[in-house]
Amino acid sequence: MALANPLRRDTVTVITRVLVGEDERGQDIYEDQERDVGRCNMQPINSTEATDDRVQVVTRWRLAGPPDMGLTHMSRVRHRGVLYEVDGEPGEFGSFAGLMDHTEALLKVVTG
Q: Which residues contact 11 (CB under 8 A, 6 or more apart)?
A: 36, 37, 38, 40
Each residue's pLDDT, cut to its tens digit, for the chain (112 residues) gives 455 666 678 999 999 999 999 999 999 999 999 999 999 999 999 999 987 788 899 999 999 999 989 999 999 999 999 999 999 999 998 888 877 889 999 999 999 8
CA-nearest of 47, 66, 54, 18 to 108 is 47
What integer pLDDT is reported at residue 2 of this predicted model? 54
Which pTM value belongs to this model?
0.83
